[in-house]
Amino acid sequence: MQQIPAFAGRKFILFALMAILLIWAILGLDWWSLNQQFSADLRTSSSEFMGPTSPSWRFLLFAIGLVVTLLIVEACRQLFSLRDQARTQLALQRRIIDHASVAMVLTDGAQRILTVNTAFEQITGYAASEVLGLTPTRLSAGYQGLNFHRNIWDFVAENGFWEGEVWDRRKDGAIYPKQMRIATICDEAGQTTHFVATFADVSEAKAQLERFDYLAHHDQLTNLPNRLALDGHLDALLDGAVPGINRLALLIIDLDNFKTVNDSLGHHAGDRLLAEIARRMSAEMDRTTRLFRLGGDEFVVVQDQFDGNVALAGLIDRLVRSIGLPCDIDDHSLHCTPSIGISLYPEHGRDGLTLIRNADAAMYAAKAAGRNNHQFFAESMNAAANRRLHLESELWRALAENQLVLHYQPQIDLLSGKVVGVEALVRWAHPLRGMIAPAEFIPVAEECGLILPLGHWVLLTACRQVRSWLDAGIDIGEMAVNISAHQFRQPGFVQTVQGVLAETGLPANRLELEITESTVMHGVDAAIQTLAQLKAMGVRLAIDDFGTGYSSLSYLRRFPLDRLKIDRSFLADVDTDADAASLVTFAQAEFLRTLECERVQGFHFYQPVSADEVIGLSRSEDYAALPA
């Protein structure tokens, strides 16, 4: 809508009033002259009366004056209406500006503030009256310097606008960032007459972005920097690093047997343990070292000023001691040990990815060396890591393509020498490498998460085999199946066993589950509950490799067990009825017979054999040779 300046409206109104007064003054004088003429000579001829001063002309002049007056009055009314509309529009625009969420500032050509809106007052804390006449640079925080602001105005002068982030100071002294845009206002000649600036406080937005960035680069459980942060840290350290001058050590730390804690006590306890270990290791960091969490139970330490093995050995010693301290979690005193792999820059890699990969290979070498130790990277480790990765891939394929088979090692009655049971032992019939022993691939299965489907396959296949023998009239006694700690602690394990028995139709008393000491000793209450449920089903239960752990016979009486399988390393200390596993010599058999052990199992009597060979043994009258 066209806006009419106030001074123009006042001039028009004054001119209109003067015009109306002049017209009516002329008409008044004319009528007064006419009345004088009528009084002097009432007998004037009609022709003279019709002249310029005749009544007809005067009536016409009156009508014109009246019309002009009405037109002027209407023009004034419309002018007043336009003025009111303009005022209303200006008031509306002012309300809109004051209700805007962004601050607005209008300055003159000399950058002196003429007006501001309500958002400006709310953001800055200044009232409009306090800033009128000031220049915006008076509100600057001083962070960006005079040159920064000078460059802004130079850019505005050249381009007519500028947009970017500026740091200003509020009235209370607080410094804040704002996103601002400045634009010029020009007259018809193109000369800059005013500047208008709009800005918004972006403090919360920047804080939110910083929060998102923190979450993206940090582990939520431990608050340690994560793998993404590690990659950035290594890139920053190695960018411009000079081999021979700059040196760096990278340590990958893996907590030994951490899965046992998760499986026995639950992930909540595992998370608390990880958080405590992270806190302890963080306390061992200094200005040259930084700790990261890769995920799971793996951590990384980067020492960016590596100056020799002596200082590194001190760091490793401190880390091992801090990790090894007991952690009291949920009424359990937990102990951890680390396997540590180390790679050095530039000897073992000149980029972050290579250093991490080689340290990881060294860490696996530490685990293979018995855990709870550290290993420096060597080229041979890459070959071993590649073999392990290849084996993992092939193992998945083996399970899918039925390359796994079960062999069965007979269990012998110690008095008669008769086969009274078998233990199922998994073998891998590799198409190229032949038969692979479980000692080679079971650890890989545990690491890659294949142990659960593998264990289920062994249990199902063994139960099917016994059912098949029974249907053929062959009685070989119980089928013993080893159960891993991962299986035993898996939620729903009891239901899994029930399902296998139902699917195969095998009587529960024909199945014997073998569990290690360490499995039942972690999370004793939960273990007792699981064993009791299995026992109630009729499943027989045995402790495998008894004597290699820390439990006692009196302690094991808490568990509903049917059998102890004594490890051969413990035979000399046996003083109770039990079974003996891994029996090798006649002397050991004689010793156990004197102790009234019921049955034995060992390579001296029978090697693990195929299912067909088990049938032959069950029908043979030639029993295992025992000492007389």
Residue 80 lies in a domain: no
Query: Higher-confidence residue: 271 or 378?
Result: 271
Residues 370 and 404 in one domain: no
Asked whether the beta carbons of 135 and 112 are under 8 A apart, the reply is yes
d(CA 46, CA 19): 33
Does 554 fall in a domain?
Answer: yes
In this structure, is residue 158 part of a structural domain? Answer: yes
| pLDDT value of position 13 | 61
Domain ranges, residue 513: 389-619
The two tokens of residue 288 are 């040259």
As a whole number, mean pLDDT of residues 423-441 equals: 87
Lowest mean pLDDT across 92-96, 334-338, 509-513, 624-628: 624-628
Residue 451 lies in a domain: yes
SS3 state of residue 248:
strand
What is the model's pLDDT at position 58? 58
Which of 160, 175, 206 is the last residue in one of the domains?
A: 206
Whether residues 348 and 397 share a domain: the answer is: no
The number of angstroms, rounded, from the C-alpha of 322 to the middle of its chain's C-alpha atoms is 27
Q: How confident is the model at residue 581 (pLDDT cuts 50, 70, 90)?
A: low
Contact 110, 153 (CB under 8 A): no
Q: What pLDDT score was predicted for residue 50?
A: 45
Same-domain check for residues 280 and 309:
yes
CATH number at residue 152: 3.30.450.20
CATH number at residue 302: 3.30.70.270
pLDDT for residue 221 is more than 90: yes
Tens digit of each residue's pLDDT (9 = 90 or more) over 475-525: 989 999 999 888 898 888 999 999 999 999 999 999 999 998 878 877 788
Query: Do both 176 and 225 map to the same domain?
Result: no
pLDDT of residue 588: 67
- At 392 the pLDDT is 80
Report the range out of 244-258, 378-392, 423-437, 454-468 with the highest average pLDDT. 454-468
CB 176 within 8 A of CB 165: no
- Supply the pLDDT for residue 442: 85
Token couple for 122: 């709310």
How many CB atoms are located within 10 Å of the residue 531 CB? 21
Q: Which residues, at least 6 apart from 80, have a Cβ–Cβ distance to it below 8 Å?
A: none
Q: What is the band of 40 on the pLDDT scale with cuts at 50, 70, 90? A: low
Q: Is the pLDDT of residue 569 over 70?
A: no
**Residue 24 pLDDT class (50, 70, 90 cuts):** low
Before 338, cis peptide (omega within 30)? no
Q: How many domains does the chain have?
A: 3
Q: What is the mean pLDDT of the chain?
A: 82
At residue 194, does pLDDT exceed 80?
yes
Parallel/antiparallel/unpaired status of strands 563-566 and 540-546: parallel
Boundary residue ending a domain (317, 343, 377)? 377
Tell which wins on pLDDT, 245 or 581: 245
Same domain, 291 and 410: no
SS3 413: strand
Does residue 211 fall inside a structural domain?
no
Measured CA to CA, the distance from residue 470 to residue 585 in angstroms comes to 32
371, part of any domain: yes
Residues 363 and 412 in one domain: no
Q: How does residue 363 score in pLDDT terms, banded at 50, 70 and 90? A: very high
Residue 257: the pLDDT is 83
Please give the residue that has the higher pLDDT: either 31 or 110: 110
CATH of the domain at 537: 3.20.20.450
pLDDT greater at residue 423 or residue 592:
423
pLDDT score for 456:
93
pLDDT of residue 455 exceeding 80: yes
Tell me, yes or no, whether 509 and 446 share the same domain: yes
Place 586 in a pLDDT band, splitting at 50, 70 and 90. Answer: low
Per the CB < 8 A criterion, the answer to whether 480 and 514 are in contact is yes
In a domain, 582, yes or no: yes
Same domain, 427 and 301: no
Residue-level pLDDT at 575: 40
Buried b (16+ CB within 10 A) or exposed e, 579-594: bbbbbeeeebbebbbe
Q: How far is it, in rounded angstroms, from Cα 133 to Cα 519? A: 81
Residue pair 504/460 in contact (Cβ under 8 Å)? The answer is: yes
> Would you place residue 621 in the very low, low, confident or very high pLDDT band (cuts 50, 70, 90)?
low
Are residues 417 and 349 both part of a single domain?
no
Which one, of 551, 426, 545, 416, lies nearest residue 477 by Cα? 416
Task: Tell which residue, 406, 415, 412, 342, has the closest CA to residue 378.
Answer: 342
What residues contact 169, with CB distance under 8 A and at least 6 apart? 139, 140, 141, 142, 175, 176
The answer, as to whether pTM is greater than 0.85, is no
Residue % of the chain over a pLDDT of 70: 79
- Look at residues 182, 193, 135, 119 and name the one whose alpha carbon lies nearest to residue 155: 182
Domain endpoint, select from 174, 206, 238 = 206
More confident residue, 45 or 470: 470
- Same domain for 504 and 402, yes or no, is yes
* Residue with the larger pLDDT of the pair 61 and 99: 99
Q: What letter would DSSP give residue 623?
A: P
Report the pLDDT averaged over residues 430-437.
85
Nearest to 447 by CA among 174, 227, 257: 257
User: Quick one: 252 and 321 in the same domain?
Assistant: yes
Asked if 368 and 320 sit in the same domain, the reply is yes
Separation CA 288–CA 307 (nearest Å): 11
Q: pLDDT for 521-559, tens place per residue?
A: 777 888 889 999 999 999 999 988 776 555 556 667 788
**pLDDT (tens digit, 9 = 90+) per residue, 125-162?**
999 889 998 888 778 877 777 788 888 989 999 999 99
Range with the poorest average pLDDT among 64-73, 166-175, 413-422: 64-73
Q: Is residue 369 part of a domain?
A: yes
